[in-house]
A and B are shown apart, each in its own frame.
Chain A
Amino acid sequence: MTFHADPLATRAAMAPHMPPAAPLEMPQQVLERRARHRSAQPTPRQRGRRLLPRLLSLRMARLMRLASPVLRLR
């Protein structure tokens, strides 16, 4: 067999030596926690609004949202 730097010729010459096909599934693992955003790109305003429900219970968050114009808590 003659080998030279022609990639196509080399590839053809090596084809019989390819590993035999025996496919195996390899699912992609999750390594990052998914953000619970409803939209992919929330606005800074939306981000501010969604910070509270994460920290507080839903009811408390509703109360805080009602009070936010007064307390300036966003």
Chain B
Amino acid sequence: MPRPTPVRDRPDSDAGQSRPPQRPVSRRGTRTARVVALTLAFAAATEAVVLFLQYALSISFDALDVVRAVLIGVTTFWLAWGATQSFVGLFYREPAVPRLPDSAPIAGRTAVLMPVYNEDPVAVLARVSAMDVSLAEAGLTAQVDIAVLSDTRSDAIAAEEARWFARLVAERDGVGRMFYRRRAQNTGKKAGNIEDFIRSSGGRYDYALILDADSLMEGATLAEMIRRMEAAPDLGLLQTLPRIVNARSLFGRAMQFAAAFYSPIFARGLAAMQGTTGPFWGHNALVRVQAFAWSCGLPQLSGKPPFGGPIMSHDYVEAALLARAGWTVRLDPDLGGSFEEGPEDMVEFAQRDRRWCQGNLQYVRLLGAPRMRLWSRYVFLQAILSYISPLLWLGLLIVSVPAAMWQIGPDYFPAGQIFPVFPSDETAKAIGLAVGIGALLVLPKLAIFLKAWWTGAVRLFGGTGRSFASATAELALSTVIAPVMLMFTTRSVLQVLTGRDGGWPANARGDGAVSLRTAWAASWWIMLVGAGGLIATYLLAAELLPWMLPVGGPMLLAAPIVSFTSRRHGAAVFAVPQERHVPPVLARYRLTRARWVAEAAMPEGTSARDLSLPAVVPVAAPRKTVKAALHG
């Protein structure tokens, strides 16, 4: 079989003529965005180091100050990189992308792949049912098959999956277009699950929509994605920006708000900088099956886990491999109608982060992988730095205590001087440094709020006052939980570095609030470290205590914070558009799930009608709603 290559590389290709004369993703624009962002981030880091050195030199200067200067430089660069990404996103104008006209029929066949691993079968298959209705509305039933790819280890859960799958097939008349397969061994985890399908059945399909067990997508969105892919023969992967839905707790709703309010701008910045070497987040993305098959066969890394063995964070690697083979990998942030669920509490978040941490640190092995694009290597480096930077912040705090303790006062009478020499007061520079770092955290969010206010987008979030209250509450909450999350990340990194394989525990989606007892069990050590740190600071360098309190205080209260933020939260703040106008696919999912759950609890011989629940999910949704969902 000839190796498939992007059409632009084929000498006999007529793609140049067949592609619509629209402005493609500009390589010059991508380069400009990268240069601007990198320059600004380097400039901010340099300025931070210079300010710190000026301050340190005015008092005394020793080896610890060199360490502090390096840590300040790296952490500031990382913060500034995030900030510049948002500023690029604010000013980025999305280029017109080629798409097949609505009048042209879709030729390619698509498989919707839903990998599951010990998930709640009713919830997963209710999502499939809702998406199938949506696909039918978009006229895609003939071109799209759905495959539930089970890696579930428990036979009892697998039996439930089979039961509800049979129910789904019967209800949606899915014989011959809805498939279920369970692997005997879950080799290669999720990546292996997808790979197994591509190897055994991929030849039947042109495209595959890769989902997560908690993913939802409107049929109209998938239709639009297929049209874009059919019009761009060099497009190997098209990633959407999934919005978080169904959050109920304070923590979950704050994340849901942040994902809806800030993420689109950050994603635009990311799309501008990544260009054709775009991201893949492992789900809610459409891949060209031939390109994926030929480019993304993942090997096992030599050596043992955590750095060797199967590649755990496979998505970034698959994106890099597609780019290496010459395919375009693109993020189109304008695509709406793509959803996922997020963690409901900090413990669940930390568990997920533990898996991602191990996968991301494994990228150390891939930085020198042969023939990778330079930007792909930089993306790996970013992924590593995202987990290392909390350790650097912690290191900076720890080093600051002995540095302050051993600080020698200024020498008023240097050698050969009769009259005292008063060093200039550089305290303003230290304060300037602290304010600058704070600004890097706050300014992007403020700028995004101002843009939303200016464009009127705040109306979708409950109006100006409510949006401002939500943004302020999110900022306050993220400030309070940041030190606790910093400690969870630190522990994850240390576990990985000491060779402790975290494994892949299933996500506990939809659980209730975390009790104080559970929160204590998960975070007592953080409280201990917080108390120890504050006491040590008070005893060794009391003048640093006010600087340490914003970090040590929340650590001291870790268990109550974890428990409190997991409680159900009303809609006073953190309103998001998908709460006010529930997307059709989400509404159908909720209805179907409620009906199935009710039926499962009913005695034999009764029907859903007895519970006043709709026996048949309403099929037709107003076109306007579908269109609104598609465009976010």
Inter-chain contact A7/B155, CB cutoff 8 Å: yes
Residue count of chain B within 8 Å CB distance of chain A: 48
- Nearest chain-B residue to A18 (Cβ)? B181
Chain B residues whose CB sits within 8 angstroms of the CB of A3 once the complex forms: 159-160, 162-163, 166
Q: Bound state CA distance, A13 and B166, in angstroms?
A: 9
Cβ of B295 under 8 Å from chain A: yes
CB pair A18–B180 under 8 Å, yes or no, is yes
Q: Are A23 and B203 in contact (CB under 8 A)?
A: yes
B559-613 at interface with A (beta carbon < 8 Å): none
Tell me if B289 is interfacial: C-beta within 8 Å of chain A. Answer: yes
With a CB–CB cut-off of 8 A, which chain B residues contact A70? none
- With a cutoff of 8 Å between Cβ atoms, the chain A residues found around residue B317 in the complex are 31
Report which B residues bind A (CB closer than 8 A): 1, 111, 145, 147, 155-156, 158-160, 162-163, 165-166, 169, 178-182, 195, 197-205, 289-290, 293-299, 301-302, 311, 317, 321, 365-366, 368-370
Among A1, A11, A22, A32, point to the contact of B204 (Cβ < 8 A): A22
Interface of chain B: mostly helix, strand, loop or mixed: helix
**Residue of chain B at shortest CB distance from A34:** B370
Q: Which one of A17, A19, A33 lies within 8 Å of B200 (CB-CB)?
A: A19
Whether a CB of chain B sits under 8 angstroms from the CB of A55 is: no
Interface size band for A: 20 to 34
Chain B residues whose C-beta falls within 8 Å of the C-beta of A26 in the assembled complex:
195, 198-199, 202, 293-294, 296-297
Pick from A5, A21, A22, A27: contact of B159, CB below 8 A: A5
Q: Chain A: interface secondary structure? A: loop
| Bound complex: CA A56 to CA B254 (Å) | 58
Min Cβ gap B217→A in Å is 20
User: Which listed residue, A17, A19, A24, touches B293 by the CB 8 Å rule?
Assistant: A24
Residue pair A22, B203 in contact (C-beta under 8 Å): yes
The CA-CA distance from A13 to B290 in the complex, in Å, is: 31
Pick the contact of B298: A4, A7, A14, A28 (CB < 8 A): A28
Residue of chain A at shortest CB distance from B308: A32
Closest residue of chain A to B165, judged by CB?
A: A17
Which residues of B lie under 8 Å from residue A6 when comparing CB positions?
155, 159
Q: Could you give 18 example pairs across A and B, Cβ below 8 Å?
A: A10-B159, A19-B111, A19-B147, A19-B200, A19-B201, A20-B201, A23-B199, A23-B200, A23-B202, A24-B201, A28-B297, A29-B296, A29-B298, A29-B321, A30-B370, A31-B299, A31-B365, A32-B365
